[in-house]
Amino acid sequence: MDFELNKDLINHQNTLNSLINSMNDGVIALNDNTEITIYNAAALNILDINNVKIKSKIDQVLKPIDKNNQEVKISELILKTKFPDINRDFRIKYNDGSTINLYLSISPVKLDYGKKSTIGYVLLLRDITREKSLEDERDEFISVVSHELRTPIAISEGSISNAEFVVDKTGDLKTIRQSLKEAHSQILYLADLINDLSTLSRAERGVLEVNIEDIDINDLVKELKDSYQADVEKKGLELKLELKKNLQPLRSSRLYVKEILQNFITNSIKYTDHGFIKISAEQDEDYTIFKVKDTGIGISKTDQEKVFDKFFRSEDFRTRKSNGTGLGLYVTMKLTKLIKAKIQLDSALNKGSTFIISIPNLEPPKIP
């Protein structure tokens, strides 16, 4: 009988061991003295150690740091925990200097069912570095987007209420028209921003479809010229075209190629006060190459590495004179990858910039 009982106990123990060892989360059980009694393989992984001596103090192996980079005495925190508690703000620093964000759950548990039952603790540990960085990115995104929305909304609101005021007071049509024009241009900017955001969200979810068609390059460039001629003239700039003869149709997504070129052109108009903008197109065996050149403020060597990053805007005050989200080139890069194209940037501070995109012919989708 005793023997059978023992066997049952051992079986039971083995099942429990394999159960906790198969868990993805680190599990550490402690006695009331915060000494380790059970742990699993995932816990060793997170702590980056090979083994733990049973009965060693939790403080020896788990030394989290808090938001202010201060080491947390974990046993003190555990002993204070009367109810299950979760912390997502600690990090673990490894010997090589790298850190991870830690999910740490501390649950006090009764260790037996006697009247004076002693308390122990179960810790769950998880590496949440990726979730944390996504959360940080999302928070930054919301704060940048709301900031970018606020300015044009405030300007439109001010212009429209100014127009209303003038209607009531003097009825001066010139002032009213001027105010409405300002409000209109801010609303157009908001529409652009919303477009950027929705393209971005579709691109990030990877649900953008590439519709391949034969693109007439002369036709596309002429369309772009017609859309931007007025903006270019308004800034006293010149819009030049340089199209090689006999350009063959490009097989790619007209929508994305156009959107990419539009981003280059709007930037070149935005960041150029004197001179010209030139759109050129040429072809070699493998690629159709578009260049958008401007004689604007240019981009420093260090900034050139960052212009395609999400939200990046140069600190240069001449950049900050105009509205911008820092999303345009990020979205452009996403679209560029979708059509298997390559972007090059040739620029120097105060010397203007040239954005070059080389686009290959894509295979039309196979009809099953």
Alpha helices in 22-128 (DSSP H): 41-47, 58-61, 74-80
Compute the least distance from the CB of residue 365 to ligand ADP, in Å.
30
- Tell me the pairing of strands 36-39 and 85-93: unpaired
- Residue 24: helix, strand or coil by DSSP? coil
Q: Binding string, 98-137, against ligand ADP, x = CB under 6 A?
A: ----------------------------------------
Alpha helices in the chain (DSSP H): 2-21, 41-47, 58-61, 74-80, 129-169, 173-204, 217-234, 254-270, 301-304, 317-320, 328-338
Select from 34-42, 110-118, 312-320, 358-366 the region that touches ligand ADP (CB under 6 A).
Answer: 312-320
Contacting residue, 92, 215, 265, 294, with ligand ADP by CB under 6 A:
294
Give the alpha-carbon dihedral of 215, 219, 220, 224, to 10 degrees. -170
Instruction: Tell me if 297 contacts ligand ADP by CB under 6 A.
Output: yes
Instruction: Tell me if 330 contacts ligand ADP by CB under 6 A.
Output: yes
Instruction: Tell me if 290 contacts ligand ADP by CB under 6 A.
Output: no
Tell me the C-alpha distance between 175 and 159, whole Å. 10
Q: Which is nearer to ligand ADP, 87 or 300 (CB)?
A: 300
Contacting residue, 295, 314, 336, 358, with ligand ADP by CB under 6 A:
314
Residues 208-267 that bind ligand ADP (CB under 6 A): 263, 267
Give the alpha-carbon dihedral of 200, 203, 209, 211, to 10 degrees. 60
Compute the least distance from the CB of residue 353 to ligand ADP, in Å.
4
Q: Which is nearer to ligand ADP, 78 or 333 (CB)?
A: 333
Instruction: Tell me if 341 contacts ligand ADP by CB under 6 A.
Output: no
If one counts every other C-beta atom within 10 angstroms of the C-beta of residue 365, the result is 10
Question: Which residues in this chain contact ligand ADP in the complex, by CB under 6 A?
Answer: 263, 267-268, 271, 294, 296-297, 299, 307, 312-314, 319, 324-330, 353
